[in-house]
């Protein structure tokens, strides 16, 4: 199965909205050892200028991966998920994700590169809030290892 | 926590190393919090069956734990504006657990926007497990 390079530039329909809860944020923060009280104490978060408790910087991946699944699981995309490893990840936060957000995610296949028999696929997911304002741009590169 | 001020930060300044423990329970907690239930992160027999030395941590756990160290240095997790990395080596997590070590060094500063760019180095034993790991933070 070969990765279908015709998908470069394709944008999938928006997914979500994904409701972000204080409990979700607390669980994620605990799992990554994030001890800042802004993750768990709404008063501390408000004192720091946020509307509610703040998601750890990498929590956007939760919504990004739900959104990009439509592409990765698309049979026409030619991605053998058993051969996938995570190559790179980056986040640009236009503002922090906070409890109470309802995020919409839109994933675009940014590039597909071939190197050493592997395919490197970069997808970019834009997270926006209910007002349509940009919240986070998440970029993820997966490596589909070539067959032997 | 108090937020680090731009005036208190200089190029070349370092923080850490901070050692973060990771056990099988950590990976179960991360799987449940993130929704990534790939068995290579929880099931030893499955992991070994696909050629891994043992259960490995989610790359995103390693990245997340590293971001927590950066956030502690800044003093406000909401001020980590950008964070990116490559995943270079897996963190192997045997039954007795493992640990990663996280350090940061300030590479550049932006006086106009009161920001700093930090190079983050995360190691497990002798292995550098993250590559080109860079954070941009908003200082006070």
Q: Which residues of B touch A59 (CB under 8 A)?
A: 64
Distance from CA of B12 to the nearest CA of A (A): 23
Mutation for testing the B interface, residue in A21, A30, A31, A41 having most B CBs under 10 Å: A31
Q: Kindly report, residue by residue over A64-107, the tens digit of the pLDDT.
A: 999 999 999 999 999 998 889 999 999 999 999 999 999 999 99
Residue B64: predicted pLDDT: 98
Q: Does domain B6-21+59-138 have CATH number 3.30.499.10?
A: no
The per-residue pLDDT for range B24-38, each reduced to its tens digit, is 999 999 999 999 999
Q: What pLDDT is stored for residue B117 in this prediction?
A: 98
pTM of the model: 0.97
User: What are A99-146's pLDDT values in tens digits?
Assistant: 999 999 999 999 999 999 999 999 999 999 999 999 999 999 999 988
Q: How far apart are CA B73 and CA A47, in angstroms?
A: 19
Residue-range domain boundaries for chain B = 6-21+59-138
Whole-angstrom Cα distance, residue B131 to residue A146? 22
List, in sequence order, every beta strand (DSSP E) within chain B. Answer: 14-22, 80-87, 98-110, 115-124, 127-128, 130-138
CA distances from B65 to A58, B77, B104 (A): 9, 12, 13
Nearest Cβ partner of B81 from A28, A36, A93?
A93
**SS3 state at B72:** helix
Sign of the Cα torsion B40, B44, B50, B51 reads: positive
pLDDT of residue B95: 97
**Closest partner CB to A39 (pick from B63, B77, B81):** B77
Low-confidence ranges of chain B (pLDDT < 50): none
The domain covering A5-21+59-144 belongs, at the CATH homologous superfamily level, to Hotdog Thioesterase (3.10.129.10)
Break chain B down into helix, strand, coil percent, rounded to 5.
30, 40, 30
- The verdict on a CB contact (< 8 Å) between A93 and B33 is no
What is d(CA B89, CA B21) in angstroms, rounded to the nearest whole number? Answer: 17
């Amino acid at each position: 199965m070969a990765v279908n390079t015709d998908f470069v530039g394709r944008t999938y329909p928006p997914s979500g909205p994904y409701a972000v809860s204080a409990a979700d944020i607390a669980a994620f923060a605990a799992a990554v050892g994030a001890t800042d009280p802004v993750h768990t104490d709404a008063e501390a978060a408000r004192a720091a200028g946020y509307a509610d408790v703040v998601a750890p910087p990498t929590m956007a991946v939760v919504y990004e991966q739900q959104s990009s699944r439509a592409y990765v699981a698309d049979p026409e995309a030619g991605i053998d998920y058993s051969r996938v490893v995570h190559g790179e990840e980056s986040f640009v936060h236009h503002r922090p994700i906070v409890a109470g957000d309802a995020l919409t995610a839109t994933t675009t296949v940014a590039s597909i590169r071939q190197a050493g028999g592997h395919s490197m696929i970069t997808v970019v997911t834009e997270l926006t809030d209910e007002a349509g304002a940009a919240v986070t741009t998440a970029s993820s590169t997966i490596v589909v290892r070539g067959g032997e | 926590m108090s937020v680090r001020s731009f005036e208190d930060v200089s190029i070349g300044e370092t923080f850490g190393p901070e050692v973060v423990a990771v056990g099988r329970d950590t990976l179960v907690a991360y799987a449940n919090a993130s929704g990534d239930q790939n068995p290579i992160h929880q099931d030893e027999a499955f992991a070994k069956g696909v050629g891994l030395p043992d259960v490995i941590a989610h790359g995103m756990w390693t990245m997340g734990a590293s971001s927590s160290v950066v956030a502690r240095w800044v003093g406000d997790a909401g001020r980590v504006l950008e964070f990116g990395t490559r995943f270079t080596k897996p963190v192997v997590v045997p039954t007795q657990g493992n640990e990663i070590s996280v350090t940061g060094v300030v590479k550049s500063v932006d006086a106009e926007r009161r920001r700093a760019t930090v190079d983050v180095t995360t190691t497990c034993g002798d292995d550098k497990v993250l590559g080109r790991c860079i954070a941009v933070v908003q200082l006070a």
